[in-house]
Amino acid sequence: MPHRPVVIGVDSSTQSTKALFADAVTGRTLAVGRAPHHVDGSAGARESDPERWWQALREAVAAGLKESRAPASAVTAIAVAGQQHGLVSLGRDHRPLRPALLWNDTRSAPQAAALTAALGGPAAWTARTGSVPVAAMTAAKWRWLCEYEPSTIARCTAVRLPHDFLTERLAGVAVTDRGDASGAGWYSTATGSYDTEILQLIDLEAELLPSVAATGGARVGTLTTSAAEALGLPPGVVVAAGTGDNMSAAVGLGLGGAGLLDHPVLSLGTSGTVFAATRTRPANPALSGFAAADGGYLPLACTLNCTLAVDRVATLLGLDRDDAAPGGEAVLLPYLDGERTPDLPHAAGLLTGLRHATTPQQLLGAAYEGAVVTVLRALDEVLRACGLDPDSPAVAARPLRLIGGGAQGRTWVETVRRLSGRPLVVPSGTELVAVGAAALAAAAASGADPVAIAQGWGAGRGADLPPTERDLESWERIVSVLDSAAPTLLNGG
């Protein structure tokens, strides 16, 4: 009796790779293989070896295949969702010339500012790409590389984003999707193509870039013989275009044209991210106006300092991460790695409001509060980009979907409830990026809509938490500090 078809969704994140094996019909998770990455760097630098990503993908697929007990012949398709914005520079042998510059590498902040000015300011950029350059954007990283490593540029024959690099290793074709491409800074969401003027501005030849698939669920080929051997899979396995991690999470939640539109999501991970799937093309300089993997749009705001920064504060205080209490008068803005939203790439953490009675638990609670207020303020801009009034009672009553590692933490969930006053949905699926990638793989194999597939699988459903009374006193105190603190102080002064 033949085995039911299986699809693989790969989540290649900053810290690790996960390969989720799912029943292609029901979406039931059969196994999740995992393998770690390694991030190097200090003083703003964050780099990883792309070859380690490929090795981790191989290890994760091998582990998942073993755990699932599914025969390799049952696997019909695979798709990769990768961390956004990373810059991979390849040489003539198609091997990386240097470690990839990651999204949270802030050294390119001066280049981002220079690019913004060179094209005519924030409005000019959002009109073209939907986003204003910040240190995270790949275009700024390319300019940094041009200025500091011209010998690398001279030897570069191809430029890829992280998920593009892995997809090319799988299928042997240079292809990306509009979702991940829209985070690079050189793809126009207005025209649906690479922006020639921006490419000239940053001294990047279009021939170095991959082609752009219309959707992340587009079929781009099948596994090459060498990739199939490396993964222990048949050569005929379909490869989807894949997408960026945030776009894949939206698919996994069932958000998009075939599902829920204009419903906000808050992802609590290494970074804090808020986004919503919409049919309205965003052009707000305060946001990243990304394209979505399904053909729509994904206005998004990202903060650099979320779970990792708060965990660091807990470590400094010698506390467990949930050994926290509301901050009281203390305000702690945990901008330990600079900050992206607000755009303060050289920021340092800020602590104020200490009293003799302040406890370590309150300081940790204040770190949670500072991180949550920062990301919730960005949420208001995302809602406006969808054409919604964030202060409208009807909009405020719309559930906020809480995902990411922090969504599994009691203190994170309760801090978001208390400071937002919103109803929450905590989906039962915990690997939504990988689930979204699996849905993209299933779409590539079947030709169906990936959002409709994910909705049928039900990964976005979960626990419904009613709203609690909003803690406006704490909210207003933290916002006041954030707004009044001098930029020189936040920038490490």
Q: What is the rounded (10 degree) CA torsion for 457, 12, 184, 247?
A: 10
The span from the CA of 137 to the CA of 183, in Å, is 7
DSSP 178-237: HHHHTTSSSEETTTTEE-HHHHHHTT--GGGSPEEESSTT-EEEE--HHHHHHHT--TT-
Would you say 163 and 9 are in contact if contact means Cβ atoms under 8 Å apart? no
At what angle are helices 50-68 and 162-171 packed, to 10 degrees?
Answer: 60
Task: Quickly tell me which residue has 């350059």 as its tokens.
Answer: 133
- How far is the C-alpha of 3 from the C-alpha of 173, rounded, in Å? 29
Give the residues across from 333 on adjacent strands: 350
**Contact partners, residue 102, CB within 8 Å, separation at least 6:** 14, 39, 46, 47, 48, 83, 85, 86
- Catalytic residue, candidates 164, 195, 245, 311: 245
Are the beta carbons of 162 and 212 closer than 8 angstroms?
no
**Bridge partner residues of 429 (DSSP):** none
Residues 163, 80 contacting (CB under 8 angstroms): yes
Which tokens sit at 300?
A: 């998004």
Q: Coil, strand, or helix at residue 459?
A: coil
Would you call 471 a catalytic residue per the annotation?
A: no
Q: Is residue 485 classed as helix, strand or coil in its secondary structure?
A: coil
Token pair belonging to 132:
């204003």
- The catalytic residue positions are 245
